[in-house]
Amino acid sequence: MRNVAGITSTDSQKSSDMLMKCRYMDEITNNKGLVFATGTPVSNSMAELYTMQRYLQYDELKKMKLQHFDSWASTFGETITAIELNPEGNGYRSKTRFAKFYNLPELMNTVKGFMDIKTADVLNLPTPIAHYETIKTKPTEEQKEILETFSERADKVRDKQVDSSVDNMLLITNDGKKMALDQRLINPLLPDDPNSKVNTCIKNVFSIWDKYKDKKSAQLIFCDMSTPSSDFNIYDDIKTKLIDMGVPENEIEFIHKAKNNMEKDAIFDKVRKGEIRVFLVQHRKWEQVLMLKTN
């Protein structure tokens, strides 16, 4: 299956290694030596369900002649083509994605052969009520000008006027993400807009920090881009400005400081106790789900 968003046609070394180990365990235990436990068997792509079946139900897939992904996808999946915003953000394009299951009863009967599914409703887990607030910020004139250059770059890439080693859609998309976060990530010499996303976030974080001083409530800031480094970065920018506003430095921490699970646990414990009240996190380093409830 080619040219379908979210579907890679190559195996990673890690996944191939995992499959071989699973096959070996099945052989020496008569398919009774493996137990997977996860809260997210399908998190990013519907193809992940096939991956789980291949690890834990490979012999069954072979009996059904569905051990190859294309066969499995043509039996249980459907590709949908839809119009979506293009990478440079100034137009639209058609994109094909593997985004819908069919023959669902047959698929579920097969899946239940190895998967015991417990939903939040069945477990009756205590879940706090989330309140979502979307805060809009206006682009600066510099950002508008930069956006126009993205369109020009994209046209050159499509027309093959520039070598892919010099510029490509991935670079344009990445620059677009940087600009959307903060224009200084494109050029550190550009002005620090007081109403930017980052500065708006800082104002809100300080307001909440000040409001809940007595409770020692903690805040998590997720930011996957511009992580701590020797160059200008958003993490240090947020920390510096919060300190200038009155937040003690010892109450601000980055997950990057932890070099191993023991150090992570120590930081998480400080967050629960309210000793760390502003915790900046990158999803890639957030390897475990924890209840970070402060005392």
Per run of 10 residues, the mean pLDDT along the chain (length 295 residues) is 61 87 94 87 77 93 92 85 67 74 89 87 81 94 94 92 90 92 95 96 97 93 91 96 97 92 89 94 63 52
| Domains held by the chain: number | 3
Quick one: 207 and 293 in the same domain? yes
CATH number of the domain to which 272 belongs:
3.40.50.300
240 occurs within a structural domain: yes
Quick one: 185 and 203 in the same domain? no
130 occurs within a structural domain: no
Quick one: 116 and 167 in the same domain? no
8 occurs within a structural domain: no
Quick one: 82 and 157 in the same domain? no
89 occurs within a structural domain: yes
Amino acid 10: pLDDT: 65
Residues 6+ apart with CB under 8 A from 220: 279, 280, 281, 292
Amino acid 218: pLDDT: 93
In angstroms, the CA 268 to CA 189 distance is: 36
128 occurs within a structural domain: no
Query: Model's pTM, two decimal places?
Result: 0.64
Amino acid 8: pLDDT: 64
Residues written for the chain: 295
Helix (H) or strand (E) holding 253: strand 252-254
Last residue of a domain, one of 192, 212, 236: 192
Amino acid 289: pLDDT: 47
90 occurs within a structural domain: yes
For residue 103, give its domain range.
13-123
Quick one: 112 and 164 in the same domain? no
Amino acid 291: pLDDT: 53
Question: Helix, strand, or coil here: 77?
Answer: strand
Quick one: 207 and 255 in the same domain? yes
